[in-house]
Amino acid sequence: MAIKRRLLQALAAVTFGCMACAAQAHFQLLYVEETALPRADNLEFAMVFTHPFSAGPTMVMGHPLAFNHVSSHGGEKIDLRKYLRPVQWQSRDNQATAYRASIPRELVRSLGDHVFVLEPEPYLETEEDVYIQQFTKLIVNVGGVPGNWSEPQGAPVEIQPLNKPYANWTGGVFRAVVLANGKPVPFAEVEIEYLNHSVDIKYNAFGQKDYVTPPQASFKSMSTYSDAQGIVTIGLPRAGWWGIAALNIGTTKTYKGKPLSQDAVLWVQARDMK
């Protein structure tokens, strides 16, 4: 029995290690050019499953299972899937299916916060034989009026911001709570990655020029853990987009008979003081 137990423990460790390896540095991008709008405007979204620091390789996305919008006023959840359209996204290394969405001004005309949540179809990482599903959140503000930016949206896994994700100065600190089924996740593994290239949303492509050059490979994707209360704290040393991903925190662990890593992703925009 002891030998059997040790074998099962070893298999579990290998499985977990493979899942962590598969999920590492994969980020579901949910992008708009600007998250702090002086006034309501049309929004052009790009949804790309990629490695944002390296601008690739980009993975093929299946059709999203959900893409929702919740405004500060009324809190009604609006299904935005009718606005989705597949595109071929050009990364540095390859071209792969991604999604775009053109959201009309009428849907974001109210002042305050507009929360967008993407639930992608699980992606099969064939090298590790593991599925990855990243529930991804982006918050857009109109007119500087605060709203529901800090409220959880009820996703199976989620990052709840403790700072406004759209109002951060370069060099500041950002804090958030890692949630699974609405409850804090202590000591969750968290990766942080900088979007290190321009995004040509018109032509569905990443720019080829790096903003920064890492001194060593480990700097491409930074790692930390949430604390005992599920709170994660990160610095924002450069203006631009920062992706925060809490890895493998979902209670659903299998999909189509294979291991599943359910991750929570939040995108944060930082700006220089001028």
Flag the least confident range among 15-19, 35-39, 264-268.
15-19
d(CA 177, CA 196): 25
> pLDDT digits over 150-192, tens only?
999 999 999 999 999 999 999 999 999 999 999 999 999 999 9
d(CA 209, CA 86): 25
Which pLDDT score, from 0 to 100, does residue 146 have? 86
Other Cβ atoms within 10 Å of 82 Cβ, number: 8
Average pLDDT, the chain: 91
pLDDT at 15 over 50: no
d(CA 71, CA 148): 8
pLDDT band at 10 (very low <50, low <70, confident <90, very high): very low
Q: What is the mean pLDDT of residues 234-246?
A: 98
- In this structure, is the dihedral angle defined by the CA atoms of residues 133, 192, 55 and 18, taken in order, positive or negative? negative
> pLDDT digits over 105-139, tens only?
999 999 999 999 999 999 999 999 999 999 999 99
pLDDT at 30 over 80: yes
pLDDT band at 25 (very low <50, low <70, confident <90, very high): confident
Q: Are 248 and 263 in contact (CB under 8 A)?
A: yes
